[in-house]
Structure 1
Amino acid sequence: MSNLKLKTVTKSFGKAEVIHGIDLDIHDGEFIVFVGPSGCGKSTLLRMIAGLEDITSGDLFIGERRMNEVQAAKRGVAMVFQSYALYPHLTVRQNMGFGLKVRKEKPDTIARKVDDAAKTLQLEKLLDRYPRELSGGQRQRVAIGRAIVGDPDVFLFDEPLSNLDAELRVHMRAEIAALHGRLGNTMIYVTHDQIEAMTLADRIVVLRDGLIEQVGTPKELYAHPDNVFVAQFIGSPKMNVCDAGAVAPALEAAGVAVGDADRIGIRPEHLRMVADGGILTGKVILSEYTGGSSLLHLTVEGAGTFLVLAEGQEAPVPGVSIGLSFDPSNLHRFDKDGLTLRQQALVD
């Protein structure tokens, strides 16, 4: 079994505590993504699971075995780093089999496992090349292949795609998702890119300042964020959030309840431009054309800048005032502490 459990796990560097009592259950075969801004502790948490950082307090279990004092090499995990970490003087075949050679596996066993991994990752034709002869995506596949041949219970990925260009990142995302589908191993993936998190994860763990803000499926975090931070971190472009008082008269005049909300939020893709009327009115200050759509920046009186995702080839030009409407069910309400207010009723 490759389920993981973290129980009140903390990490301190000297007097500075950077991980503050993490509790998390990861199920066998799950694809879990740790996501959050730089400095939130996601890579530190991954390195603690890998055994590359000591756990200051708390417990880590993989299966039923407590792993706090177990050496990294004996935890049944394999890690793929942001840098490919390939030996430049070894061929692809030798890089992939190096760990098995160190463990003194038989040569025929090494060859079989390397060939199987190469077939899985479509590296058969590259086995005799050196890293300098490979593209960035190919090098990353070799690094993943090196992890596969060790037959780990758990794969750990630390921002493995951040060194790749945008097109290649999309391609490698699909390859990693397909790999998880074929292997079925538990995978834990660290990224600061919430698009990667949304497209890859069975569940996402959103971290901030060494604490878990929310755990859930991509759809749960998008539709039902627990607080303002998660609401604005998950989704691209980020959610519009403003003081409820600034827009309360307009919303309530349109039959939309503000209730006890201190702040309200609405996603750019849920706002619709209307020719007449509308719940809110904004003036376009910037229009960013992206091909199939445009991202509009509008000033809404008293509420600051709003983003609106306008589909199609045509979009209003700067200086034009437009009406905005939305389905009231898509409005998010937050209290003074930034926590979500649930089940606010609509005004009749």
Structure 2
Amino acid sequence: MTSLTLAGIRKRFGKVDVIRGVDLRVADGEFVVFVGPSGCGKSTLLRMIAGLEDISEGELRIGDRIVNEVQPAKRGVAMVFQSYALYPHLTVRDNMGFGLKVRGVPPHERRQRVEAAAATLKLDALLQRFPRELSGGQRQRVAIGRAIVGEPDVFLFDEPLSNLDAELRVHMRSEIASLHKRLGNTMIYVTHDQIEAMTLADKIVVLRDGQVEQVGTPRQLYERPGNLFVAQFIGSPKMNILPIEAVAGKLPGQPKTASLVGVRPEDLELTEPGSGFVDARILISEYTGASSLLHVQLPSGQVFLVAHDGEAPPADTSVGLAVEPGRLHFFADSGRRAD
């Protein structure tokens, strides 16, 4: 296991800064997830750690070594890509051991490492198959196994589940979490899917426009987002945001510096009209099985989302919206958290 330290990391393509001064510490054995919208720089940052992109400015340490100029193969990292990148003419065993063969690892040691990784990933019975004979999830496990046999200090995952269907993504998510628990290696995982980030990470790094917006545990980012961007990016459905003046005098604990208030759909409760902090009219009710997602319109014309358990009132019903004071989030004009 080893740690990583990024200090003032920048990446320029021509005159365009795509990574703009990232400072980050990843502890030994930590599972860190980079998350953010498309184009935020998360994959570029991962490739810089791997050595597949040059660092324009700043310092990258893996363990105690500065690795800015170190070749990818000598950094002690292994990367799992979105595409499986398996050789179609090689068996699972040979795909997993190919990198070791190139490095000149003796055949008996290659066999031991491949079989140990196959046991970890439950691929024992598939070692003689070819990629065309495997499911998508099995191919991804082979790609992960190919990384494991290299015995890296750090695993890097670049959206490894995005090519899988929804059910298989859930299954592979749990397998990757179990793998981290068994191996204990430092892992950095890139995804645009904030559910993956919330369920896998010890620590989440939220990126936007090549900069870090906030770093914290999933719970910290969900319960105390540092700004409006994080508040609306973390959580599904996203947080409702309302100008303070729309509910002036009806919100307990309102900070004087706040101009906006946020409330998550799952924290809103339906009450009788006039008994909440604001009244609304139900526009649409989306039944999802365990609950319903209600689209409700406020007197200002703004539409809120409400996650409602139980039977939902029909469309065009007037309701009140209530929330516990501790579940409110206040933000200043700048977008920064105000409470």
Structure 1 counterpart of 2:268: 271
Q: What displacement does 1:256 show? A: 5.1
Unmatched segments (≥5 aa) in structure 1: 343-348
1:1-348 superposed matches below 5 A: 1-249=1-249, 251-252=250-251, 255=252, 257=254, 259-275=256-272, 277-302=275-300, 304-312=302-310, 314-342=311-339
CA distance in 2, matches of 1:6, 1:279: 45
| Contact preservation (8 Å) 1:243, 1:303 | no
| C-alpha distance 315-11 of structure 1, shift in aligned 2 (>3 A) | same
Q: What displacement does 1:117 show? A: 0.2
CA distance in 1, matches of 2:184, 2:330: 39
Deviations 1:230-268 (CA, angstroms, capped at 9, x unpaired): 01111111100121111224x24xx45353311110000
Deviations 1:54-97 (CA, angstroms, capped at 9, x unpaired): 00010100001000000001100000000011111111000000
CA distance in 2, matches of 1:33, 1:127: 31
| Contact preservation (8 Å) 1:248, 1:258 | no
Unmatched segments (≥5 aa) in structure 2: none
| Contact preservation (8 Å) 1:51, 1:72 | yes
| Contact preservation (8 Å) 2:19, 2:210 | yes
Identity, % of aligned positions: 65
CA RMSD of aligned residues (A): 1.0
CA distance in 1, matches of 2:308, 2:109: 57
| Contact preservation (8 Å) 1:137, 1:164 | yes
Structure 2 counterpart of 1:346: none
CA distance in 1, matches of 2:29, 2:84: 25
| Contact preservation (8 Å) 2:247, 2:277 | no
Q: What displacement does 1:320 show? A: 1.1
CA distance in 1, matches of 2:246, 2:211: 32
After the TM superposition, which of the residue ranges 15-24 and 295-304 deviates more from structure 2?
Answer: 295-304
Q: What displacement does 1:275 show? A: 3.3
Q: What displacement does 1:303 show? A: 6.0
**Partner of 1:231: helix, strand, or coil?**
helix
Question: What is the TM-score when the length of structure 1 is the normalising length?
Answer: 0.95
Amino acid corresponding to residue 262 of structure 2 in structure 1: G
Question: What is the TM-score when the length of structure 2 is the normalising length?
Answer: 0.98
CA distance in 1, matches of 2:85, 2:159: 13
